[in-house]
Structure 1
Amino acid sequence: IYLIIRIIGAVITIIVFFQVGPAWLYSADTGGTMMGLLCTLIAWFFAASFLIPLLMDYGIMDYTGTLIRNFLWPLFRLPGRAAVDLCASWIGNCNVGVVLTSTQYEQGYYTARESVLIATCFSAVSLPFCLVIAALLGVEQYFIPFYLIMTATGIVSVVIMARIWPLGKKYPDEYYEAVGKQIHEIEPEGMSKRRWAYLQAVTKAAEGPTVGGLLYKGIDMFLGIIFTLVPITMCVGTLALVLSTYTPIFNWISMPFGYYLQLLGVEDAFAAAPGTVVGFADMFIPAVICSNIPSIETRFIIGILSLVQIIFMSEVGSVMLASKMPIKFLDLVIIFLQKTIIAIPIIVLLTKIFVSF
């Protein structure tokens, strides 16, 4: 299936690059958008391919993970080393977060459940992109509460989703079969947590690659991403944008969310409804289609929601499907809808309490 998708992606790339064939495939709203995104993605992936080994192979995650395991496990049911991953995913680029998480799974540091939970719930977009979305929706003057409510909603929604199906129940707590369990965060009896964290970090750093090994690993990772993820992203992302731009499918799907928003007292509920689901195609589209809604409060809510949803097929969704994590397309649909249903009332409540328009 991935071979077929890559071939289709290659064909679409040629059509878009040379602008031949059907115009709806290479227009600025569909293939043209994806071609522009790919340039940014390739730059991010190039940097990430050399930075990710620095996080993983020299003891940072081992030291941090051992120290704060008792904090992360009760809250998110995740190992302590996930803290570095969560920060890199939430603050940095979303695709970098997914690649880092997938690599940790393949190396035996996350179980299937842990890797899918992190990839689908913490791979947020960068801070500058959040500012772009806020500006596009005309709410940039409220950016500080905008970002704080987005962060609070993200945390609360993950606490809930980590304990319910599918993220909390469907995926096994089993490590990647090819390598087995490689994580050892629980300190031995009679040894302090800090001392065990230090020993784990030093041991990992001693086994880390040399400068030449680091460069080789980075180049290998980058080329793997380019030939594996880029054509898949081009294929899935372009087709998703075609559906969003030229068909009413997202308008039909969003009807129940119109009533949901109306029930929660959101103004212009049905005008905003498509913005609640079209983010599955691309995170930028909700801001585009909702930028003309009269209510500032509604634009504020939709902007936060689009950033909290995280899963969008033009980038992150495609990267997840191409990874070795045990996640399927239908799983992404279910998790996206579930997160949307959980996040909307949290965003609406926090907005009405803390923001005065």
Structure 2
Amino acid sequence: DYTGTLVRNFTQPLFKLPGRSAIDLLASWVGNCNVGVVLTTTQYEQGYYTAREAITIASCFSAVSLPFCLVIAALLKVDHLFIPFYAILTITGILSVVIMTRIPPLSKYPNEYYAPVGKQVNEVEPQGITKSQWALKLAVERAAAAPDVKGVLNKGIDMFLGIVFQLTPLVMSFGTIACILATYTPIFQWLSVPFGYYLQMLGVEEAFAAAPATIVGFVDMFLPAVLAANIVSLKTRFIIGILSLVQIIYMTEVGTLMITSKMPVDFKGVLALFLEKTIIALPIIVLLTNIFGIA
């Protein structure tokens, strides 16, 4: 509440999000992606985000943790370039959100609060009081109503166990099926042909060899790195690695959590967000890779 009130003038014009989302954005970006989505859906169900705001945060900011980014870079043998790798990842993530919040499908989602609870956030300071005073007032009121340590621990354990038991079967089933399809069938090669031409147009080497890795990330974010590991071009592996981490929306975790939440988004909506993010992010990644001199 305190931070949200103070930084609202930054997050609202840039991302069209309330100030309190700044904490959520940071937790979602550097922490575990599942926790980020669960935190966002909880805030939506409590009346602090509109449907559009919640879907934006869940689909654009719930990134994987920093150590896992290093794992992907190491698998693709570009870990010696990790600083520019993560810098481009961050810049692309921010720029893609700035664009996506202003165009469909994100702009078409209802800018309405969860009906059973209504709007529960008030970050705009009233007349006669400064922003910092209003922020402090809201923070003190929130602290006074906070649960005790036992309550916080019980809620955290319940959330953690829910994530584990909800996602483990899905990760195992979707991941296994995707690996079988990628290894023993040409289905991803067929589906990825348009992205092969797109990569070729952007000047990416081994475009059609890399194309399947651009779409298989919808199933699981680890699979693009597996498919791209044998690509000869270091620059292409570098681009695919960043793309797989920027795409974020994959059905073994983030996508499933979004669909099963109370946010008004379905499978087609999640797929549309994934494809749009891929199309927008690729030229940004390629441009920044060239600027950083990766070859």
Partner of residue 133 from structure 1, selected from 43, 52, 72: 72
User: What TM-score does the superposition give when structure 1 sets the normalisation length?
Assistant: 0.79
Structure 1 CA distance for aligned equivalents of residues 175 and 105 of structure 2: 24
Residues 108 and 181, structure 1, Cα contact 8 Å, conserved in 2:
yes
Partner of 2:205: 267
Give the CA deviation at 1:197.
0.4
SS of 1:168 mapped into structure 2: helix
Q: How many residues align?
A: 295
Q: How does 1:90-101 map to 2 (within 5 A)?
A: 90-101=29-40
1:327 correspondence with 2:271:
no
Identity of aligned residues (%): 69
Structure 1 CA distance for aligned equivalents of residues 45 and 51 of structure 2: 10
Q: Structure 1 unaligned runs (5+)? A: 1-61
Given the superposition, is the C-alpha separation of residues 122 and 264 from structure 1 closer, same or farther in structure 2, using an over 3 Å criterion?
Answer: same
Residues 188 and 212, structure 2, Cα contact 8 Å, conserved in 1:
yes
1:210 correspondence with 2:148:
yes
Partner of 2:18: 79
Structure 1 CA distance for aligned equivalents of residues 224 and 105 of structure 2: 26
1:316 correspondence with 2:254:
yes
Structure 2 CA distance for aligned equivalents of residues 285 and 229 of structure 1: 17
Given the superposition, is the C-alpha separation of residues 161 and 195 from structure 1 closer, same or farther in structure 2, using an over 3 Å criterion?
Answer: same
Q: Which amino acid is 1:122 matched to?
A: F
Partner of 2:190: 252
Structure 2 CA distance for aligned equivalents of residues 123 and 148 of structure 1: 17
Partner of 1:163: 102
Deviations 1:242-295 (A, max 9, x none): 444443222111101111111111111111111111111111111111111111
Residues 244 and 281, structure 1, Cα contact 8 Å, conserved in 2:
no
Residues 232 and 322, structure 1, Cα contact 8 Å, conserved in 2:
no
Structure 2 CA distance for aligned equivalents of residues 115 and 233 of structure 1: 23
Give the CA deviation at 1:216.
3.1
SS of 2:77 mapped into structure 1: coil
Structure 2 CA distance for aligned equivalents of residues 189 and 145 of structure 1: 46
Partner of 1:116: 55
Structure 2 CA distance for aligned equivalents of residues 144 and 70 of structure 1: 30
Give the CA deviation at 1:100.
0.5
| Stretches (4+) displaced over 6 A | none
Residues 240 and 314, structure 1, Cα contact 8 Å, conserved in 2:
no
Structure 2 CA distance for aligned equivalents of residues 136 and 270 of structure 1: 20
| CA RMSD of superposed structures (Å) | 1.5
Partner of 2:289: 351
Q: Structure 2 unaligned runs (5+)? A: none
Structure 2 CA distance for aligned equivalents of residues 215 and 141 of structure 1: 39
Partner of residue 291 from structure 1, selected from 216, 226, 229: 229
Partner of residue 172 from structure 1, selected from 93, 96, 110: 110
Structure 1 CA distance for aligned equivalents of residues 42 and 177 of structure 2: 27
Q: Which amino acid is 1:309 matched to?
A: Q
Structure 2 CA distance for aligned equivalents of residues 333 and 68 of structure 1: 32
Q: Which amino acid is 1:138 matched to?
A: K
Q: Which amino acid is 1:296 matched to?
A: L
Partner of 1:195: 133
